[in-house]
Amino acid sequence: MKTTIEIPDELFRKAKAKAALEGIKLKDLITESLQATLEGKTGSGRKPHRVKFPILKSRSVAPLNIPDDAAFRTELIDDLVHYEASLR
């Protein structure tokens, strides 16, 4: 069944990031979390899927200049989701 709910922006970003890191769809994360809550369980009982990124070795370490704003974090999460999908 489809439904519409309102959740705080920060909670949505955290849920989307967790789903991306576990390699599952956001709707599956929400469904599992709701089911676990209704059954009184504290965890889903499965191991999260780990994404492996290529490691590049460098002689010098340059500081990262990453802006701290919601738009950038959302783009980063979307990039993670697309990267995970490309591995399938």
48-79 pLDDT, tens digit each = 667 777 776 766 666 666 666 777 777 888 88
**Domain residue extents for the chain:** 9-52+68-87
Find the length of the chain.
88
Distance of CA 46 to the CA centre of its chain: 16
Contact 17, 77 (CB under 8 A): yes
- What's the rounded mean pLDDT across residues 6-28? 92
Q: Is the pLDDT of residue 43 over 80?
A: no
- What's the rounded mean pLDDT across residues 7-25? 92
